[in-house]
Amino acid sequence: MSWKKEEFYNFIVKNDVIGFFKEPLKLKSGRFSYWYINWRNIAEDVFSLDKLTDYILSFVKNLGLKPDCFFGVPEGATKLALITQYKWAKNQENYDKGVYALSMGRAKPKKHGAPKDKYFLGVPRGKTVILEDVTTTGGSLLTVVNNLLENDIKIVATISLSNRNELRDDDKSVEEILRDKGVKFYAMSDAVELLPKIYQKLKPGKDIGKHVEEYFLKYGIIKLKLI
């Protein structure tokens, strides 16, 4: 499969990954939002997750990346990274015992044991790509990046399935923070591009459209026009 952005966007729209709330919901970031991006239904279905990991692999190949390991931000991208890593490794010429790690991160650091066991169930090895499902203010992603750097693991890229395109409370984007750490950030989809498509499809009403536009005026990297 070759990377086709529009096809991936259609996959998102078809599977209702992005949508609107009638009443605002408090996000993990603490912000109240009338719109959501949720990959959970995809992650809970074998067929859909298989398709999604194919999109990830084509995106990685399109970027020209040649990682040794995919590592998922716990717990949202754990299954995603495990399946992506398995499929990636199986297709490499040097696929053999002991060559590729199958690594997982702990949702909560372990209090005892070796330093690397504190954060990992299977430590990433070699050039590592970090996967995240949705990027908002980057708290969980930055924690993983710091843990990997602390353990001298080479990060070649961080890849988000969907970027909400928001500024942090320090008025910086997640991409800027990662750049300062020498880590590249890529997003496979962008909320500013997706929301107008979803708004036209779902027609949630002008009031919700206005709330979402105001949300981007307050938190967004750029303005959003829906109405």
Q: Which pLDDT tens digit goes with each residue over 148-198?
A: 998 899 999 999 999 999 999 999 999 999 999 999 999 999 999 999 999
Q: What is the pLDDT of residue 86?
A: 97
Backbone φ and ψ for 114, nearest 5 degrees, come out as: -65, 155
Identify the CA nearest to 174 among candidates 152, 153, 158, 193.
158
Token reading at 82:
């495990």
Report the C-alpha gap between 9 and 12 in whole angstroms. Answer: 5
Report the C-alpha gap between 129 and 151 in whole angstroms. Answer: 15
Identify the CA nearest to 130 among candidates 105, 95, 93.
105
Q: How does pLDDT run along the chain (227 residues), one tens digit per residue?
A: 799 999 999 999 999 999 999 999 998 889 999 999 999 999 999 999 999 999 999 999 999 999 999 999 998 899 999 999 999 999 999 999 999 999 999 888 887 777 677 888 889 999 999 999 999 999 999 999 999 998 899 999 999 999 999 999 999 999 999 999 999 999 999 999 999 999 999 999 999 999 999 999 999 999 999 98
Q: Which pLDDT tens digit goes with each residue over 189-210?
A: 999 999 999 999 999 999 999 9
Spell out the CATH class of 5-219. Answer: alpha beta
Q: What is the pLDDT of residue 28?
A: 84
- Torsional sign, CA 78, 13, 53, 163: negative
Q: What is the largest CA-CA distance in the chain?
A: 57
The answer to whether 156 touches 209, Cβ cutoff 8 Å, is no
CA angle 141, 145, 147 (to 5 degrees): 115
End-to-end CA distance of the chain: 36
Report the C-alpha gap between 194 and 208 in whole angstroms. Answer: 16
